[in-house]
Structure 1
Amino acid sequence: MGSVSSTSKSIMPVTRDLVNELIEKDSIVIFSKTRCPYCKMAKEVFESLKKPYTAIELDNREDGQDIQDVLNEITGARTVPRVFLNGECLGGGTDVKKLYDSGELAKLV
């Protein structure tokens, strides 16, 4: 866990506040990268459910790496996508797809 504490010192509180604000702003938030197939899979799941979502495309942002560091602190992973539903992290693309396939995701949204 030493690496997490040293990482957290270098993350600006502004970035941490921004991530929390983005997560709270909409019911479905996907931290994504434009060319990531798992990100595309997660987005397609919500599109098939006809549920609007907010995608934060980290590869189009100068602070994308910093946001991924904050996501690592919050969720224990920096990989994308990081999918949040009502402020709770559902996980990544395969996690969301499994919830969708089992019918659980439709109950949650």
Structure 2
Amino acid sequence: MERVSRMVSERPVVIFSRSTCGMCHTVQALFTDFGVHPAVHELDEIPRGREIEQALSRLGCSPSVPAVFIGGELVGGVSEVMSLHLNRSLIPLLKNVGALWV
């Protein structure tokens, strides 16, 4: 859990992903299209990725990826991110944490 906390404090937007996950790629593309450069951790490509995935599950991420953190807080997965986007809350949230300057 401590490792996850340390990783999510690196940048305003942090995404835990798997390189083979289509929904993970979709979420990453959404942020990139906005001009946001999230820290992306591909759990199938990093040491102890399985442990991190288990910690994300304990935090309530189901499925465990994609897991999106904004401003150090767990937002959730693709459904939660898209809900924020559709109700026009995502961009203001990104601005508030310094991830977007438009």
TM over 0.5: yes
Q: Quote the sequence identity (%).
A: 28
Q: CA deviation at 1:76?
A: 4.7
Look up the match of 1:94: 79
Preserved CA contact (<8 Å) 2:68 2:76: yes
Match 2:6 to one of 5, 8, 21: 21
| Aligned mates of 2:62, 2:11 — CA distance in 1 | 21
Q: CA deviation at 1:78?
A: 5.0
**1:58 has 2:43 as partner:** yes
Amino acid at match of 2:71: N
Q: CA deviation at 1:56?
A: 0.4
Amino acid at match of 2:38: Y
- Number of equivalent positions: 94
Aligned CA RMSD, in angstroms, stands at 1.4
What 5-or-longer segments of structure 1 have no aligned partner?
1-15
Amino acid at match of 1:41: T
TM-score, structure 2 normalization: 0.83
What 5-or-longer segments of structure 2 have no aligned partner?
95-102
Preserved CA contact (<8 Å) 2:15 2:68: yes
**1:41 has 2:26 as partner:** yes
TM-score, structure 1 normalization: 0.78
Richer in helix (by share): 1
